Amino acid sequence: MGNVTRDISNDFYTETLVIGGGFGGTYALHKFRQAGIPVKLVEAGIDFGGVWQWNRYPGARVDSEFPFYQLSIPEVYKTFNFKERFPSDVELRQYFQHMDKILNLKKDAIFNTIVEGVTWDGQWTCKTKDDRIITCKYLVLCTGSSYKKNFPPFRGLEKFSGTLIHSAGFPEAGIDASGKRVAVIGNGATGVQIIQELAKEDCSLTAYIRTPIIALPMQQRSVTTQEQESLKSFYNVLLKAARVSKTGFPYNSPAKTFSKTSDEEREALFEDLWGRGGFSFFLSNFLDFVVDKKVNECIYNFWAKKTRARVQDPVKRDIVAPLKQEHLFGVKRPSLEQNYYEAIDRPNVELVNLKKTPILEFTEEGIVSEELRKFDIIVLATGYDAMTGSLMDLQIKDKEGRPLQEKWKGGVETYLGLMVEGMPNMFMVYSPQAPTALSNGPSIIETQVDWIIDAIQKMKTEDIVMIEPQHRFAVQWGKDIQDMNAKTLYPLENSWYMGANIPGKVREQLMYIGGADAYSAAIHNALDGWKGFDLRRHEI
Ligand code: NAP
């Protein structure tokens, strides 16, 4: 092969490179600029928004309620109003556009740029798919939990000749389901939203359900500009309260513990929380549902009673809300629904119970479980190689040249859910071994990004050029999480929290489960005195 000369005109050095332009990346870009630390951002998609750029499926919206699903940047929240308690994907993209307009974020961002190759030689070198080289001193990975799509290894998947689409791959214009035979595989937060939306259309819909989701009434409503304007004087307090809470939502807790309440008191509490909608029934409930099967069953039974009353078809009722608890409440992510249970009851909707009749194969015409069903469109709402997939795809090697894939072959190992041994000055946001999916997104992202800025400012003040976690501390961080996890009910369900949704992935708790409040205390405690870090100072 002859010498191919690389075009180096697009290469550049920046003190900080942020990868990813969702909530984590945009907040990091803003805060680094505010701190006076030079920064650039690269993003794979066409604009800011992260998951809200990729997720354009019918009915996409967030399960985190207003006003908490936004960043605590006053100049942004003072000048933006949402329309709904649970904003849609469209509204969330508008929010990101607004944030960009107010903060002029695009000035420092490059889109349509995928990083695939990251190496260390005293600084980080990031190679992009379009052959650009970006070098930096600090690398901040904001690649999100839900980037790498999960295509289950269904036999014959490639044979299907109709439209096959992953939930994160819908075109901007959407799809026309009218008059079509549509299948949806998957019953997580995404599947529920797609099914309840498509069921209303003039289509014949088949939902393939393996584990029925435990969905709670969203109680969606419009929020007026007047309501928001009158609340804005308190946003700083509300958003701060979210950050210092256990879950990133400042929900209150029951006045008494489960064991100290009577059946009547519990019923009254459950009714109260049910009526509030959103995650109240989940996160304002007795949180010992995570550790105590009796508590879990009691909450499940209330949910099943309420839910079963909404489904008239007895076969469908038993599939989506079995009377006897088959799945634990709240240790696999519950979801919010808007008339989902009425939607699946419609005559144009068929449910296939995959526990009884698993998918055998795909054919050119459709899906074979116990029989062949023919489709025009098949939607895979089958989730993601969550938490680690996006990081692995970056193809990062540590300072010894060891790929992250190899380092994490036996399980994830981070320190504080923020850094990895052998990968100096590299920080992760919305990351494994942090509260991440167990917290409201923007709240935990702010905690982590602010910590990273504090760490870098401290490095600068103390003339430190390089920080890196010590092996012993990283091992202990992971061990503490798994030990804590072993005392809970999380290991008993096949969830993506446990890496259980991807064949061959190590089964382990991927989240810090001690609460966002305890997490924040732990990471700040480590920063004080650089506990668990190796430091390199400027040579004098
Ligand atoms: P998910 O929670 O991983 O759900 C995937 C679904 O696909 C599950 O029902 C799973 O069944 C099914 N599935 C996977 N492989 C299968 C196979 N081989 N055969 C049959 N079924 C299979 O993915 P998701 O619904 O996209 O949600 C991912 C996360 O994104 C959520 O947990 C949430 O954090 C976030 N999200 C949030 C919102 C929101 O805020 N409104 C909306 C969408 C997504 P099993 O459960 O039996 O494995």
Find the mean pLDDT for residues 472-501: 98
pLDDT digits (tens, 9 = 90+) for 137-158: 999 999 999 999 999 999 999 9
Instruction: Tell me, rounded to whole angstroms, the distance of Cα 176 from its chain centroid.
Output: 28
- Is residue 433 within 8 A of residue 513, CB to CB? The reply is no
C-beta of residue 377 within 8 angstroms of C-beta of residue 173? no
- The answer to whether the CB of 509 is under 6 A from ligand 1 is no
pLDDT tens column, 388-430: 999 999 999 999 999 999 999 999 999 999 999 999 999 999 9
425-449 pLDDT tens trace = 999 999 999 999 999 999 999 999 9
381 pocket-lining for ligand 1 (C-beta < 6 Å): yes
CA of 212 to the centre of ligand 1 (A): 10
Determine if ligand 1 sits within 6 Å of the CB of residue 87: no
CA–CA separation, 456 vs 459, rounded Å?
5
pLDDT digit string, tens, across residues 26-81: 999 999 999 999 999 999 999 999 999 999 999 999 999 999 999 999 999 999 99
Contact 456, 525 (CB under 8 A): no
In the reported structure, the alpha carbon of residue 250 is separated from the centroid of ligand 1 by a whole-number distance in angstroms of: 26
pLDDT in tens, 171-205: 989 999 999 999 999 999 999 999 999 999 999 99
Mutating to test ligand 1, I would choose from 69, 210, 498 the residue with most ligand atoms within 8 A of its C-beta, which is 210
What is the percent of the chain where pLDDT is above 90? 98
* Confidence category of residue 539, pLDDT binned at 50, 70, 90: low
369 in ligand 1 pocket by Cβ < 6 Å? no
Rounded to an integer, what distance in angstroms lies between the CA atom of residue 238 and that of residue 154?
A: 46
How far is ligand 1, taken at its centre, from the CA of residue 63, in Å?
Answer: 14
Nearest alpha-carbon partner for 477 in 391, 409, 429, 419: 419
For residue 37, the surrounding DSSP H or E stretch is none
Looking up tokens 């990968």 gives: 423
The residue contributing the CA closest to ligand 1 atom 3 is 383
533 exposure class (CB count in 10 Å sphere: 0-12, 13-18, 19+):
buried
pLDDT at 2: 53
pLDDT number for residue 538: 78
Q: Find out whether the beta carbon of 215 lies less than 6 Å from any atom of ligand 1.
A: no
Which residue lies with its CA nearest to atom 10 of ligand 1? 186
The pLDDT of residue 1 is above 90:
no
CA of 219 to the centre of ligand 1 (A): 22
- The Cα–Cα gap between 334 and 212 comes to 10
pLDDT tens digits, 73-108: 999 999 999 999 999 999 999 999 999 999 999 999
Residue of 353, 352, 375 lying closest to 183 (CA atoms): 375
Centroid of ligand 1 to alpha carbon of 33 (angstroms): 36
pLDDT greater than 80 at residue 4:
no
- CA separation (Å) from 35 to 38, 47, 109, 143, 456? 9, 24, 17, 22, 10
Mean pLDDT of the chain: 97
Q: Whose CA is nearest to atom 43 of ligand 1?
A: 190
Mean pLDDT confidence for 346-367: 98
Q: Answer yes or no: are the C-beta atoms of 217 and 279 closer than 8 Å.
A: no
Q: How far does the centroid of ligand 1 lie from the alpha carbon of residue 383, in Å?
A: 4
Query: Which residue lies with its CA nearest to atom 2 of ligand 1?
Result: 188
Report which ligand 1 atom has the smallest distance to the Cα of 188.
25
Question: Phi/psi of residue 77, each to 5°?
Answer: -70, -25
